[in-house]
Amino acid sequence: MTEREAATISVGTVQDAARVLKCIGHPVRLRIIELLDNGGERTVTEIREAIGLEQAAASQHLNLMRDKRILAARRDGVNVYYDISDEKVVRVIDCLRACDITNR
């Protein structure tokens, strides 16, 4: 058995990875996650303005990621603040940065 064969990923890890990757596998959602990773929690308005989205589109993406427990939301008065709640997502973003797959 090779070292590569011995390092198999558990079924639970594969299922969790698939859940995370499926949820963040959209360019807008990846941009939102990178924005939150770089700047911490932000309001819906701050997110949509930074990325250039309409309110409805931003809310749809944020709600999906919140429902999948990728993001956490906290209300403060009329504002809802979003932040990354699943640190696995940060590791995925770090991997994308390290791979720099756009320069191929």
CB 51 within 8 A of CB 36: no
Parallel, antiparallel, or unpaired for β 79-84 and 42-43? antiparallel
Looking at residue 29, its amino acid is: R
Say whether pTM exceeds 0.85: no
What pLDDT digit, counting tens, does each position of 18-57 carry?
888 999 999 999 999 999 999 999 999 999 999 999 999 9
- Measured at the alpha carbon of residue 43, what is the angle toward residues 40 and 48, in degrees to the nearest 5? 100
Q: What are the structure tokens assigned to 65, written together?
A: 């990621």
Domains and CATH numbers, the chain: 9-99 (1.10.10.10)
